[in-house]
Every structure is written in structure tokens, then in C-alpha cells.
Structure 1
């Protein structure tokens, strides 16, 4: 009957809506194979993020501050981490020469799996179980797990250990903010992953460790904990608000420019667009700009004079710069593989199956 046909069409439309939601979710976890596909994916993310941010800012200018609040960390938790490492010594630097000497002598290579490494270590020590090895290495500054792990970068100093724990806390915090961030932005997983990728690519971890080492020598214990906590939180929060701009080299900017050209996206790579410079202006000018902005926002269109007025508003200027930097960061982070190949392939196959449904 006609009613039954309408009901079928209604259900089919609902199923297609569900399919679209599943596709969007899976696409957030899938990393394309080719560089061009990765750039296309990044272009999609950039366009969606830019569009959503504009809509949200148009309806509620406070959204910009709320987005940054979701990503900012407090020095309080970092101070606890510093106390655990510096005072309570819950984790200590590893004996890198000792670990590397054992690996070299036993014949462990970077390409060996954890199981292969364990078997080589067991054979060299003429033992049959890991428990025996654990007992043998119980009095060392490193464990059997340190030797057989895939980790090639060890923490050789207190500042390295502390930085490692701070960064782990920061990454966990960002990941926990994805849900809250999703109220204001699409592709929040991509944005959080971008920050983690840039932290690694731009060498931020090393810089933080070097600065913490200086603070470690400059202050007594009590002041040291506060100084390190304040510095680390400020550094990471600045990294969020500037999307790592201060760490970007001319080579990085060149890479961004080339990718932007290939993606056909307009970015402002001038000093005005990427440098957070403080501009002095009389309070009365800012207040006048605020008054004028009410009329401007009610107009059907903006001219250049209107745009200049809006740029005199700190909130608008900061928002424009951060949005520009966010897009720059997404481009710079694109192409850096972060997915497990097997898991990525499984997601790809699942996407292909979903695409066949309700076509």
C-alpha cells in the first residue's frame, strides 16, 4: 500500500542517517594510504572546522574562550607530578649505557619484537622463564622490561623523567577533553592528535626537558616544584594557544605553504597572521570599536572599514589568529603517520562494507 511504501522510505532515510553518522565516526579513525589522500582528508577537516567555528562564534563569541579552556592545564597537577619524581622518587633515570650494553651483547636489534628480545635474553642467561630473569635483575636500576621493550629513547636525567610524566599527563588530559571539545568543534580527535603530533615533530619535549633541568638547578626543593609546575603548564598552554608557532622553523613554514597550495586553501603566513604581538591602543578606542561592532554585525555585509573595526577588538583578532594557526597546525601535522597499520586496514575494510549499505 501507499502507506507501507511511505513507511519503508521513512525507515530507509533513518538508516541512511545512521549510516552517515557511522561513516563520519569511522573516517575520524582512518588514515588514508597515499599522501594526496591524507591531504584531501586534512582539507576536509580544515573546511569543516573553519565552518563550525564561524557558526559558533557568530551565535556565541564566548565559544572561543570555552574551546581554549577545554585544552588548558593547571599547574596544580604538574606540581604533584614534580613532587612524585623529585621528592618521592617514584621514577628514576634509567642506566642507558647498561641497557644498551646488554642489548648489544645479547644481539637485540631495534627490529626485534618484544618476544624475540625476551628469548634472546633468556638464551644468553641460560634461563627458561622471565621470572628467573626478573630475579636476576632485581638489584639493577633497570628491569628486564626495560631491556626487552621497544622503547629506544630512555630518560637519562631527572628532567627527562619528569618531562616524560608531564607529557603523559598532558596527553591524557587532552584525550579526556575530546568530549567537551566536541560541543564546539567537529573532528576533535583530529585536533587533539594534531597537538600530540606537533609536540613530537617540533621537538617540544626536548626543549621542555632542557628548561626543567635549568629550574632543577636554580631553586631549592619547595620553590623548585612551584617553578617547574608554573613553567611547564605555561609552556604547554602557550603551545595550545599558538599551536606550536614559536617552535616552527622556516622549513616548517615552507612545508605548510606547499601543502596549502596543494590543498587550495588560503592561509595567512604573514607576521600579522601568525605572530601573537601585543598592540597598544587607548581604552576608548577599544570601547568605540565595541560599540561600532554591534551595528556592523547587524549589517547585511562587511566592507574593509568594517573589518578594520572588528580587528580592533582583542577577542576577534585573537580568534582569527588562533583559527589561522589551527589550520596551519593541521596542515603541518598531516602526513605524519600515527596509526597502527593493521588497525588502520581493519577500519578501511569496515568503511568499505558500510559504504555498500543502503546505497
Structure 2
């Protein structure tokens, strides 16, 4: 009896050792860095680190994002995800690096090697040209991703989006190479359906212009854009899926909206008609504004200081209910171009942009 008991205990001890060794492998073999060697990023504030132009972690819109790093090279950067919302495509955790020495008009392949301690979903995109490789399935251990883009200038920024990787995950970047493409991958722009609307592709960005869409649910949309405005009609066949799980965008790289004057103040007028009320977000450039879309026809204004001539425009519509129908138009007007309007039949100034005259000025009548 004692011998049998000892054999059973020895068996369970062996199993425990195997499990322990696997756990150690998953947590520690990916990175050569000790926990004490990681530096925590300041939440909501990007940091330039060595070869990486920006590492960013932010908690906002009710979704968590905290991250630490060790190393600073393209082939030696370790990222420890301290807290993740687990929702890919929400951009709460990012790593950016600049690609240089490019030639405008040429097509390039980017290959990235990385090791991961846990499985999850990664996005990567080129910031200027707006090419997105979404829903990349990252497995435990070694991984390689590829992205092809056509350069529009000598530099480009490559962005990795890590919000779809779980809390506790350690990712080690082992190298990024950019080479001129020997084989061009051709893509066919998506065609509209008979009613003129485009259908979303579950979990992927659509290949449409000027508006494109991403949704984990099901939507149909059609839209237009010109130098100072963008309009889109959206029909939701089902719930939007939650924060950032349904998005629509007009990328600055489409050269549709703009050019704006960088550094100037603008008013973004948002005119919309919604069949049901819900919470959303409008983002122009780096300015994000939470919006409560009310039922019916309404309008609102957002103040925006242009950072670039051609900003990206995003709509976060993840909280739209099923069967929602939304028509929205965004118009950008430079503040200094807004003229005071006066009703000729009265002495009332109707513009909200007029300031009271300076009482010390000789021009006061």
C-alpha cells in the first residue's frame, strides 16, 4: 500500500514539475529581461524610445490600457502588457517606428518578427498611406507578420496596435525589415450592392473610398466627401458590438477632405438624423469628442485645431442599437472665415462668434 501511494505521489509530482516548467516557459522564455528592468509608460502620454518613435498606452472611453517596456531596438524591444481591454482595433496600446529611405511610388514589403507569451490579436498599419492589416492571429511563441504598401514619400510610420493582446502578455520584437516588393499584391475595390450601399465585412476593414468601415457586427453604408465636408448614411442590421467595434473613417491619405491650414482653429459642424438615441464618438485628427446622438434631426459643433492639412476622420459607432439608421454630415469651417451675420430687419446680431467691444477702445460708438 505504501509503495503504491509513493508511486502515485511521484507521478503527481512529475506532472506538477511539467506544468511548472510550461508556465515558466510561457512567462519568461519570450523575454531575456527581468521584471525589474521594465519601465512603465505614463498613461495617456507617448514616449520615444530608441528606434521606436512612440510607445503609447492609454485608458479612456472606459477601456483599460497600461504597458511597460524594456530595450529600445527594432530587434530588441520587449513590451509587457500590464492591463489590456482585450478589444482589438481600439488603439489603447501602440508601438510606432519610422521607416526611412523610401522612394515615392515604389511598393514595399514589411516583415516583422516577434515572440509572444500569449495568444491574441494584433493590428498593424502604415500611418501615412493608411494600409491596415487587421485581426492578425498571434500565437504563443514565434510569429511573423507581413504588410505591403506603396510609398508616397521618403518616410512612413509603421504602427502596431496591441489592444487585442491579453493582460499579462509579453511581446518581444525580434526585427523589422523593409524591402522593395518583387511581387505586387493586387486588391480589388469593393463594389456596392444594388441599393448603392456597401456591406461591412465582419472583423475587417472594407476596401472602399472615401469612406471605409470596420464592424464586428453587420452594417451597410454609403457616403461622399469633398474638400471641407464628409457625409455618410449607415444602416445597422445588428448591435454595433461595443466601443470601437463599429467604426467608419475617411483617411487623410485619400486626399479628399482638405487641405486645411495646420495650426488654425476650425469648427466641425456635425449635422445628423438618427432613428434611435445612442452614445458615440467623433474624431477629427487627434481631437476626439464624445457625442450623444439624440433621436431625430439635430446638430452640434466641435472645436478643432488642425494639426495637419489632411486629417483622418473617424466615427466610433459601436454602441449603435440594432436597426439604427444614421445620416451624418461633418463640415469643417475655419473660425476666422466665419462671418458675423446680421438680420437686416432687426438690430440683433445672430452670430455667436461676436465679442463685446473693448470699452477702452476709441472705436466704440
With the shorter chain as reference, the TM-score category is under 0.3
Structure with more strand by fraction: 2
Say which structure, 1 or 2, has more relative contact order (CA 8 Å, 6+ apart): 1
Structure with more helix by fraction: 1
What TM-score does the superposition give when structure 2 sets the normalisation length? 0.24
